[in-house]
């Protein structure tokens, strides 16, 4: 009886050792509760690990939102991952516009590195010392599965690398944009099709009635979208048509003012509006 019981114990022990599960966090990671802050040169610290933001990192994308007390929430759901930690795409902040993550990577240690850029806020830097953002997600090629073979009294671990899955290149959608827009305001992708059809939202300059200028917090609204579209279509490049009056929009306004013999102060007042035809 004792020998049968011992034999059953050995069978159960062997079964448990055959294939222990890989931790799910390596393929669907969260942000460390201590190392979670990036630094914005113009906006201060940005928290990628808040409970409310619920940021996750998977093999294909980021999800959730980061938070900066000076700029509010930044939606990360349109930032993609190539399963090896190379990020791309644009995050979106309602107060700051699009932020480009194409220069950000995640290492085999889970540490974010590089910098993201928003034309309205400048660079957001991911440090590698105390000021850093860390996830428990790991690049696919750096993960391993461990299983064991049982022979007599010896347990021999066998380590097998996981072959990275084949990914399909992302196809940029051909969504029509406003005439002169450089980026689609919903997806953040560069415009591949432009339209000047009035039914598609052609700019109406009569909507611009207030004084527009660079302020803190940044001014925003449909009249600024109209201004940006006008500037882009008249070769005064102000970048993304996002309805936010940032530094690039101000520089485009100054170029427009100087070309029209106006004072180059970057403020769209009555004199500047009279030249917008």
Taking only the tens place, the pLDDT of each residue in 25-77 is 678 899 999 999 998 888 888 999 999 999 999 999 999 999 998 888 999 99
Q: For tokens 């979670």, name the residue.
A: 36
Tell me how far apart the alpha carbons of residues 86 and 253 are, in angstroms, rounded to a whole number.
36
Supply the pLDDT for residue 55: 94
**Measured distance CA(5)–CA(35) in Å, rounded:** 49
Least confident of 117-126, 188-197, 261-270: 188-197
Instruction: Say how far apart CA 158 and CA 137 lie, in whole Å.
Output: 23
Write down the mean pLDDT value for the chain: 78
Run of H or E residues at 56: strand 56-58
Measured distance CA(114)–CA(132) in Å, rounded: 11
Cα distances from 45 to residues 69, 71, 120, in angstroms, run: 8, 10, 16
DSSP state of 231: H
Pick 176-275's CATH classification: 3.40.30.120, 1.10.101.10, 3.30.70.141, 1.10.10.10: 1.10.101.10
Beta bridge partners of residue 87, listed in sequence order:
81
* 143 or 223: which leads in pLDDT: 223
* Residue 200, SS3 per DSSP: helix
Give percent helix, percent strand, percent coil of the chain, each to the nearest 5.
20, 35, 45
For position 227, what pLDDT does the model report? 92
Length of the chain: 277
Report the pLDDT averaged over residues 183-208: 55
Cis peptide leading into 95, omega within 30 of 0? Answer: no
Sole residue written with tokens 């991952």: 81
Q: Is the predicted pLDDT of residue 189 greater than 60, yes or no?
A: no
Q: Which residue has the tokens 């690398």?
A: 161
Average pLDDT estimate for 250-266: 93
The CA-atom distances, in angstroms, between 133 and each of 27, 51, 93, 130, 206 are 17, 15, 19, 9, 46
Cα 187 from Cα 241, distance rounded (Å): 12
Alpha helix ranges (H) inside the chain: 2-18, 222-233, 247-259, 270-275
Taking alpha carbons only, the member of 186, 216, 237, 228 closest to residue 96 is 216
Determine the pLDDT at residue 22.
42
What is the pLDDT confidence band of residue 209, given thresholds at 50, 70 and 90? Answer: confident
144-160 pLDDT per residue, tens:
655 555 444 455 555 55
CA distance 38 to 133: 6
Asked whether 237 and 230 are in contact (CB, 8 A), the reply is no
């Amino acid at each position: 009886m004792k020998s049968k019981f011992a034999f059953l114990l050995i069978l159960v022990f062997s079964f448990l050792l055959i294939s222990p599960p890989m931790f799910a966090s390596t393929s669907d990671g969260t942000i460390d509760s201590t190392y979670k802050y990036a630094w914005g040169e113009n906006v201060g610290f940005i928290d990628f690990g808040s409970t409310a933001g619920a940021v996750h990192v998977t093999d294909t994308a980021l999800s959730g939102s980061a938070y900066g007390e000076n700029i509010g929430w930044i939606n990360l759901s349109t930032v993609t991952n190539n399963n090896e930690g190379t990020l791309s795409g644009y995050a979106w902040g309602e107060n700051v516009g699009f932020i480009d993550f194409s220069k950000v990577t995640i290492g085999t240690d889970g540490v974010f590195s590089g910098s993201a850029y928003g034309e309205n806020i400048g660079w957001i830097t991911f440090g590698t010392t105390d000021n850093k953002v860390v996830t428990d997600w790991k690049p696919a090629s750096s993960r391993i599965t461990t299983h064991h073979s049982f022979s007599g009294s010896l347990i021999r671990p066998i380590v097998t690398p996981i072959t990275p899955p084949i990914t399909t290149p992302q196809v940029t959608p051909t969504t029509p944009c406003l005439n002169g827009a450089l980026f689609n305001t919903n997806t953040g992708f560069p415009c591949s099709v432009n339209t000047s059809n009035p039914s598609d939202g052609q700019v109406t300059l009569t909507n611009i009635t207030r004084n527009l200028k660079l302020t803190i917090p940044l001014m925003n609204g449909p009249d600024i979208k109209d201004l940006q579209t006008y500037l882009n279509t008249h070769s005064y490049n102000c970048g993304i048509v996002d309805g936010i009056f940032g530094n690039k929009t101000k520089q485009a306004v100054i170029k427009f003012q100087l070309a029209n013999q106006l004072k180059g102060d970057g403020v769209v007042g009555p004199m500047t509006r009279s030249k917008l035809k």
